Structure 1
C-alpha cells in the first residue's frame, strides 16, 4: 500500500468516526518530506488546512518553526505535519497534537524508528548542560515514544527505507453519532445567542452555571481536558456579562492563552449588536472590548489582575492551573470569579489546581459551583490520538490514589535512589513520581518528562510506602565549571542548567562561585494525603546524608513565600539572594538558599550570606520596595548571619532619643535601617510583635509614606504609627545599644 493510499484510508475512517489518526513516516528527512506531500494529496486535504512544523523552508503549506509551534494552541487544522528531525522537542508534540480537527491527520516525520533513540539532535544539545556533553544525554524518552507509536491504536507506521507499512493505524471504528444542538434553557439569563453558540450539552451546561457570576459572592470552577470548549464558554459568559454593562477582567498566564476568550466574547457581542469598540495588540496583552451598555472585557497579566485594577465586577481566570496557588487565592477577593483550567494538557496540570487550591476556595466566603466538561468539541470521545498523546507525554500522570499511601509515616517510609532506567521500566513508578512533580509546580511541560529521563545532570530521590511514591525530589547537578566557562558566565554569557552558580557569578559578581559542585532541588513534592507530617523534611535529610561527602552544597531557588522560606530554613538552607524582579506569571520574587556540605561550600555560603545582609537594606529601599513584609522578614531571618552594626555615638543618641525621648527618626534613617536589619536577622535577641517587624520593613527599610504604612498595618492614625515605630525601637536600643545609647535612654526613663 502506498503512503498516498494509506493516508486516504486513514482520513476516510477518521472522518467517519469523527476521530483523528497519526501517521508516522520513518526514514531520512527528504524522503519524509516527499512522503508527507503524498499523504496530504492522498488524503485530499486542501493546502490552506495544512500546517508543517519544521525548521526547513520551502513548503507550499503554512510553515511554523518548532520554536513557534505554540501558535497552534487554540487553532484548528485538517492536517499537521511535525518534523521530528533535528529541531524536534517533546513540547512540539504537546503544542501541535491538539490543533488537529476530527477527521484530521497528524503526520510525524521521524528517523528510522530503531535508530531514532540513539540519534542526536538539537534537543539533545539543549539537555547537555555544562559540564556534560551531548554524549552524556540518553535516548530513553525517544525509546519510550517509539514503543507507544508501535503499540497504540490509531497510529500508522511506514518504513520509508523499505517501503513497508508496519502498521496501517486503522481501528474499524464505528461511525460517529449525529451531533445535536443543545437546548436553550427556558429561563436563561444570558442572551439566547450565547446558548445557540454552544456546540455540546456540556458547554451549554457550563455557560448556564456561569450565569451565577451575575451575582456577587459566587465562584465557578470549570475543569476540562483540552478541546472541550472551556475557553469558549468563558468567552460566551464574559460577552454576556459585558453586554449587561458589567466590567469583566480576564487574566491568563500569557495574553495569547486568553485569545479564545476574547474571540468568542467579541463574536457574541457583535452578533448581539452590543460591541461599541475594541483595542489590543497581537499578543493579547492590551485586549479590551467595550459595549454599548458601558460594559468591558479587558485583559491584565496575572500579577496585575490579582490587585483587581479598576474594581471589576467579575474576574475570569483562564488556564488557572498554570498559576501558583498564592496568586489564585488573591482572586477570591473579587465580587465574583470564574476559574477555567485544563486537567491534562500542555497548558498546566489541573490536578495541581484541584489539590492545592480548591480546598482554599472551599474555605472562602464564596459560594462555589464546580463544572466538568467531558465531551470533546472537535472530535469524538476516546479519540485514539488524544489517548496516545496522554500516554506518550504523561499528560495524565497522577500520584498514587490516597488509600495506597495515607498510612505512610516519617519512620516507615523507604528512601530510594530512583534511576531513569527504573522509571522507564516501571510505568506505574514513572506515573506516580512524575505525577507528584507535576503537582509541585504550577507549570509542567512535556519537555520536563524528557529531561527527567534523558538529562545527565538530573536525578530523582523518593520516599516510598509499600512501593508507592509518597514524596519525591528532582535534583540538578550544578557547578564544577572550568575557568573558561566561568569567565563566560561572569561576562554575561548564559550557561544552561547551572541556575545557582549563574546567579552568584553573573548577577552577584563572584567568578569563583561556580567552582564548587552542588545539587539544586529543582522540585520537591509530598503526596497530598500525607502532607504536613514531616515527609518532605525527611527526604531532604536523606538527600543530605547521601550527598554530604560528595558535593559542596545543596541549594534551592523558588518563588518566595513566608511559608516556603520557613520550610527551607527549618531544613538548614540559608538565604543568599532575593531576586530583584518578580516572576511575570507568579508575581513572586525568587529566593536562593544554600545548605553547605563542605568547607568550600561553607565559604561560598558565608560570603554570600554576609553580602546579602550588608546589601539588603539598600535593595529593600529600591528594587524590592514592594516585596511583602513577611517575605522580607522570613528571608532575612533565614540568612542566619550577623549583619554589621556600626553606629556612631551620635547615631545612637538619635535612635535612643527617638525611642525614649523627643528625637526624630528622619534625622538619621540609615542608623534605623542598620538596626532593623540586625534585628530581623537575629529576632531572638529582642522581642517585637509581627506587626512591629512589618513596620520596620515597610517604613524603615522600604521607605513607604507614613500614611500608607499606617493604613496598611491597621493603625488608627499616622501619629499612632509614628509613636509605634519609636516603641518598636525601645527593645532594640535595650538589646543592641552602646553605653552612649543606654545613657541617652536613662535621661528619659529615670
Structure 2
C-alpha cells in the first residue's frame, strides 16, 4: 500500500534518523534518492555504503552492473544501486538479499525518465510505499511510516549459531542419510531464511563424522556458493578446485549440473538439490527414481524464481513417488529481524506474494478479452491478477518477467475470464519486419536486435534472412489456473491470437519451448510445425529447444524450406547430437512429417529378406534405416510408441550399441535383440 508521507526538508537529518531506526530495529529500509551527482555522492557518503553498483558513478567501491553478481552469497552493509540508466530487477533483488539488518538499500533514480518506461513509472510510485523513504535534492522528501520493533539482545544470540528453523532443517537433512531410504526432505522458505547455509552446515557435519560423498546440484553453481561457503566455515575442509571440498577422512562435497547428474548417474551417499524450483519436475521425478537419499530446497518467493507453483506441484509429485517425505519450513530471517521494511517493500513492488483470485464457480462460460499493456502500470488490480496467474502457473517466473510484462515491445496480451476473474492468459510478442540490410547483418552475425528471439534464431541458424523480413507473433507464455486446466482454455487463447494475427495481416504465429512429449502433442494438435531443433540440452531442464510455427493467411516462401532443413539434418543428427533423445519424442517428431522419401523396391526387398531371416542386420542397415524412417513419417501420431518401436529408434536411428539396447530392453545380447527386431519388422510389413 502506498501511503501519504510526512514532508521532510532536511535530507541529511532524514538520513540520520533512518540509519538510527534501522540500527535499533535491526531491519533494512529502501531509500530512494534523486538529485545531481554532487548530491548523490553526499548521500552515499553519509549512508556509509559498502558498495555502489553503477555504470555512471566512479570510485573505489563502485562496481559496474555486469559485476553485480559478485555480491551473491556475501553479507553486506548498506548498498547503493544506480538505476538511472536501467533497472535489472533480478540483480536488484539479489543485492537486497545480501544486506544485513541495520543497513540501507539506496536506490538512485531519475524522476525525469518515468515516461520512457511503464515499469519505471510504476517503480517510482513505490518510493511512497509505507516501508520506503524518498530523499530529493529538490522537492519533498519523506520517511517510512511502517512501524518496526526494536530487537537488541536477541540478535546477538542468533548470530552465534543458527536459527531454530535452521537447526530443524539440519537435523532433518541428517536423518535423510541415517534413516530409511526413499524418504526425502523438502526445505521451503522465503529468501534470506538460511536454507543454503543450513544445507552447507549439515553437509560439513556429516562429512566430519564419517567418510561420506555428498553431491550438490542446482541450475547454476552461483546458486550454491553460499552452501559451499558455510560448509567450508563449519568443517575442517579443503578446497579441491572451485566445485569440490574434501575432508581428511576422505569425505567429499562436490557440485554436479542437473543434466550431468542424470546422464552420468555418479554414485554418492546424499544428494542436495538447491533451488529445485528452477529444475523441471520431470527431471526431479527422475532424480527420485535414481537416488534414494535426497534433500530438496525451494524458495517460495525471491529473485531465484517465485516458487509457489513449484511447491504445489512438487508436493503432489512427492505424495505419489515418495510417500515418506517430510517438509521443513524455515521461517525466521537470518540476517535481519522480523517485520523487515525492505522485505515488505520488495514483496509489494515486485508482487512476490500476489495471490490469484478464485472464481465462485468454475462452470461459468469462459470469455477471451484483449488486455491493453498500457493500462497495467496504473491498474494494480489487473496487474496483480495477471502476474499472480503467471507465478501460479509457471514456477520459473522471475521478477524481471514483471518488467517484460510492462515494457515488452510489441506485446499482445489476451485474458481468459470466468465472470470477472482472470483464470488464463496468453502473452505474445511481435517480431521481425526488418529491412533487408538489417536482416542480412543479423544473419551474418554483425547485429543482434533486442527481442525478436524466435525470428532471429530461425534466420541465424538457417542462414535465411527472409525470415526476418516478415513480421510474426511469438507466443511467449500461456498460463491457466490449476483448477481450470484440461478445459481447452489454452486452445481458446491460441485460436484467439491467431485471429489477432489474421486481422493484423501477420502470416506466422510461432513459439519456442523445451521439447517434451506433452508440449509437442499440444502444439502439433493445433497445427504448429517444427522449424528448428536446438542441438544441445539445456543444463537445467535437460531438454532441447524446439521452435514451431504456423502459417495463418498464406505460407511464406521460407516456411517449407526451414522445415525441410530441420528434417534433413535431423535424420543424420539422431546418431550424433540426439543419440540420447527420448525415443518417444523422436517418434513424435518424425510421425506425420515430410521427413523421408519412400524406400525403393530394392530396399524394400532387402528389408523383407531381413525380416525373414535371410539377411543379417549388418547387410541391410541402409535399407532398413530408409524403410523405418519412412514408416515413422507415415505413421499416425495417434498410435502409441511401443517398446520395440523404441528399440528400433535407439539402435537403428540413434546408433546406440547392441549392449546398451539389449540391457535397456531386456534381451540377453545382440542375437536375441536382432531376432526381436526381425519379428517386429515382419509384423509391420504389408502382408
Aligned to 2:541, what secondary structure does the other structure show?
coil
Q: Does structure 1 residue 169 correspond to structure 2 residue 144?
A: yes
Q: For the Cα contact (< 8 Å) 1:235–1:263, is it kept in 2?
A: yes
Q: For the Cα contact (< 8 Å) 1:219–1:368, is it kept in 2?
A: yes
Q: For the Cα contact (< 8 Å) 1:14–1:103, is it kept in 2?
A: yes
CA distance in 1, matches of 2:269, 2:494: 45
Q: Does structure 1 residue 698 correspond to structure 2 residue 650?
A: yes
Normalised to the residue count of structure 1, the TM-score between the two structures is 0.85
Q: CA deviation at 1:581?
A: 0.8
Q: Does structure 1 residue 456 correspond to structure 2 residue 409?
A: yes
1:29-108 pair list within 5 angstroms: 29-37=37-45, 39-40=46-47, 45=48, 50-56=50-56, 58-61=58-61, 63-108=62-107
Aligned to 1:166, what secondary structure does the other structure show?
coil
Out of 252, 271, 281, the residue aligned to residue 218 of structure 2 is 252
Q: For the Cα contact (< 8 Å) 1:695–1:713, is it kept in 2?
A: yes
Range that drifts further, 99-108 or 200-209: 200-209
Out of 551, 561, 579, the residue aligned to residue 596 of structure 1 is 551
Q: Does structure 1 residue 310 correspond to structure 2 residue 318?
A: no
Q: For the Cα contact (< 8 Å) 1:315–1:331, is it kept in 2?
A: no
CA distance in 1, matches of 2:317, 2:269: 21
Out of 722, 726, 730, the residue aligned to residue 678 of structure 2 is 726
Number of matched residues? 673
CA distance in 2, matches of 1:366, 1:479: 50
Q: Does structure 1 residue 269 correspond to structure 2 residue 235?
A: yes
Q: For the Cα contact (< 8 Å) 1:54–1:87, is it kept in 2?
A: no
Q: Does structure 1 residue 483 correspond to structure 2 residue 432?
A: no
Cα displacement string for residues 435-481 of structure 1 (whole angstroms, at most 9, x for unaligned residues): 23234545333222111111222221121112222111111111222
Report the equivalent of 1:149.
Answer: 127
CA distance in 1, matches of 2:185, 2:380: 35
Out of 302, 323, 328, the residue aligned to residue 284 of structure 2 is 328
Out of 114, 118, 122, the residue aligned to residue 117 of structure 1 is 114
Q: CA deviation at 1:289?
A: 1.7
CA separation of 1:727/1:645 partners in 2, compared to 1, >3 Å: closer, same or farther? farther
Q: CA deviation at 1:695?
A: 1.7
Aligned to 2:304, what secondary structure does the other structure show?
coil
CA distance in 2, matches of 1:369, 1:633: 38
Cα displacement string for residues 11-70 of structure 1 (whole angstroms, at most 9, x for unaligned residues): 111111111122221123453234322x22xxxx4xxx6110011353132x22112222
Cα displacement string for residues 184-233 of structure 1 (whole angstroms, at most 9, x for unaligned residues): xxxxxxxxxxxx97431111122222222123211111111111111111
Report the equivalent of 1:679.
Answer: 631
Q: Does structure 1 residue 627 correspond to structure 2 residue 555?
A: no
Q: For the Cα contact (< 8 Å) 1:52–1:83, is it kept in 2?
A: yes
Report the equivalent of 1:9.
Answer: 17
CA distance in 2, matches of 1:386, 1:692: 56
Q: For the Cα contact (< 8 Å) 1:181–1:200, is it kept in 2?
A: no
Out of 126, 130, 135, the residue aligned to residue 158 of structure 1 is 135
Range that drifts further, 346-355 or 166-175: 166-175
RMSD: 2.4
Report the equivalent of 2:240.
Answer: 279
CA separation of 1:635/1:676 partners in 2, compared to 1, >3 Å: closer, same or farther? same
CA distance in 2, matches of 1:158, 1:57: 18
CA separation of 1:382/1:308 partners in 2, compared to 1, >3 Å: closer, same or farther? farther
Range that drifts further, 678-687 or 202-211: 678-687
Normalised to the residue count of structure 2, the TM-score between the two structures is 0.93
Out of 441, 445, 449, the residue aligned to residue 398 of structure 2 is 445
CA distance in 2, matches of 1:688, 1:173: 61
Gapped regions of structure 1 (runs ≥ 5): 120-138, 184-195, 282-286, 735-741, 743-750
Report the equivalent of 1:131.
Answer: none
Range that drifts further, 664-673 or 677-686: 677-686
Report the equivalent of 2:201.
Answer: 236
Q: For the Cα contact (< 8 Å) 1:78–1:101, is it kept in 2?
A: yes
CA separation of 1:144/1:658 partners in 2, compared to 1, >3 Å: closer, same or farther? same
CA separation of 1:147/1:687 partners in 2, compared to 1, >3 Å: closer, same or farther? closer
Q: CA deviation at 1:360?
A: 1.1
Aligned to 1:461, what secondary structure does the other structure show?
strand
